[in-house]
Structure 1
């Protein structure tokens, strides 16, 4: 009988970040949050379906190349079948087999996990927990000659607050379960896909609601600004382009450059740096986030640490250089929440 395995999936709106144990090491990976209907079916050269799943009576395809994407900017995202499919896609990518029992932890933003009065928002937490217990199947054929196969046996489902999870990751440095002692508040700026969330965690892992909050700005806002700027810039560079495709925007955000076909360049490809263009596109959003942070945390000197987490934090790190010097801002990678969701078992 296989032992259950613990997975943590930070299931946001932009990328899903996965963390799991491999021996005494935490392994991580991410994948884009892109899902479409059965009509977006993809297949390999040998005719096998790629990225198709079935759950709740519907079939869906998960792949970054999907043209007609299902919009996920909905309030009930956590309890949606699309979220369930996307989370199971992560389990499938990790190599989980259908007979493997999985203990799964997913996340909610702090603004959704807690009510304004500080109590847990069970109206959102419980439906997401139950949602992840529903079975999801990999569809291998549309002809009916191969039965859909269960992705994994998820037998335990928990939900944790983002932001708080990033603090756990910061405090628990290894697998011993020993956490560094908190001497003063720690704040987390969680720069996500659609929001910039601030949470203040006091010694004893107590949330201080008066210095926590949410600004509805995120990486998607930067993408919308950057996309036409990229097309115009590439046109100036002699690249014929009316609209920059989504995959090129993603490539730019991940590498700071875009590759374009150029027969005169070595290897037939030319690399065009766009880091400064990204900074220009991101600056208005980052400035809004900074103003919001200063309003929410008027005395940043009282904090033991201020952590900048989330994919937006890494993307916009150059624009926070001044705060590294002034407020000792610590930039964490985009897997901080997922790792903390996994490590919480070490200290419970």
Structure 2
């Protein structure tokens, strides 16, 4: 069976998969070294899967997951297991794939525009290592893997046009126009400015600030107010989506806590965006992408008169990685 082209955005918070069929899949980037040690009652599905990568046993989908917000996460066995989990969720069991994934802009390039070749090579090699599901399903084999800058992937998504056939083409007017991408992700917020197929490094780069910081701030504040040692990920989800948290059998309003944490994250991202882009007067458009562009949509809505949020912004990088693969051609091993 021929290798399948796949866009693979293996983010610190969520791992996204884009297929040439137009299908999009996402799984939380939650896993840890070791067995889950959880048994379903009445044979119900726990939602947890376990994998082996080399000598490492990894459980994916667990609540007590290892933090992903560290520099070497893209090179780790946990990352490989979560990627395998996402590919299986996309229905690719037993398939061989050609994948394109990414690194944050500041981890792909030095500040002078030189590529970080050693790190790129390590990331490329890491995902080629086999991962075996322990539930008997045939694994997805990554036969070939290429790595590009994450926010630049969203630029490819913007300028490469698919017309429903096997062919893709560049939108020449979009390529020539100066465009800024602001990618608000899990651990990082990335910036790229591209004009006439040239990346302007002075305005491009990354800061370590994203949705994981928001989640951490909310959890820390709730724990402080209610004298808790820790708060589950499900509890943080409830706080962020419902502005309430159920503790000791009672619901507690956490609107003020969530609002303050959001304001702090938004202010930091806005200040860095202004520093890099100024007022954006000479840009044709400022395009917001990433999962943070969804969660913080109301707060970022009026930063620039010429801004827009990409369609399905959380998947812009994964779509762009797939389009890059289809436009440039399948990379060599």
CA distance in 1, matches of 2:224, 2:68: 29
CA distance in 2, matches of 1:95, 1:198: 32
Structure 2 length-normalised TM: 0.85
Contact 1:52 1:60 (C-alpha < 8 Å) held by counterparts? yes
CA distance in 1, matches of 2:58, 2:107: 26
* Partner secondary structure for residue 125 of structure 1: helix
Matched, 1:171 2:166: no
CA distance in 2, matches of 1:113, 1:52: 30
1:306 alignment partner, one of 286, 301, 305: 286
Q: State the shift of 1:174 in Å.
A: 3.1
Q: State the shift of 1:231 in Å.
A: 6.9
CA distance in 1, matches of 2:189, 2:81: 25
1:3 corresponding residue in structure 2: 2
CA distance in 2, matches of 1:109, 1:35: 21
Map 1:1-348; keep pairs closer than 5 Å. Answer: 2-22=1-21, 26-44=22-40, 45-46=42-43, 50-65=48-63, 67=64, 69-98=65-94, 100-140=95-135, 150-175=138-163, 177-180=168-171, 181-182=173-174, 183-204=176-197, 206-229=198-221, 244-253=231-240, 255-256=241-242, 278-323=258-303, 326-332=304-310, 333-348=313-328
Structure 1 length-normalised TM: 0.81
Q: State the shift of 1:83 in Å.
A: 1.2
CA distance in 2, matches of 1:276, 1:313: 21
CA distance in 2, matches of 1:223, 1:217: 11
CA distance in 2, matches of 1:187, 1:256: 33
Contact 1:221 1:285 (C-alpha < 8 Å) held by counterparts? yes
Contact 1:164 1:199 (C-alpha < 8 Å) held by counterparts? yes
Q: 1:232 to 1:47 in 2, by over 3 A?
A: closer
* Partner secondary structure for residue 92 of structure 2: coil
Which structure has the larger Rg over C-alpha atoms?
A: 1
Query: Which sections of structure 2, spanning at least 5 residues, go unmatched?
Result: 329-333
Q: Give the number of the structure with larger relative contact order, counting CA–CA contacts within 8 Å between residues 6 or more apart.
A: 2
Q: 1:48 to 1:242 in 2, by over 3 A?
A: closer
Q: 1:127 to 1:178 in 2, by over 3 A?
A: same
CA distance in 2, matches of 1:304, 1:56: 48
Query: Which sections of structure 1, spanning at least 5 residues, go unmatched?
Result: 141-147, 264-268
Contact 1:187 1:307 (C-alpha < 8 Å) held by counterparts? yes
Task: Supply the RMSD in Å over aligned alpha carbons.
Answer: 2.9
Q: 1:30 to 1:48 in 2, by over 3 A?
A: closer
CA distance in 2, matches of 1:286, 1:48: 38
Aligned positions, number: 319
CA distance in 2, matches of 1:171, 1:275: 40
Q: State the shift of 1:273 in Å.
A: 8.8
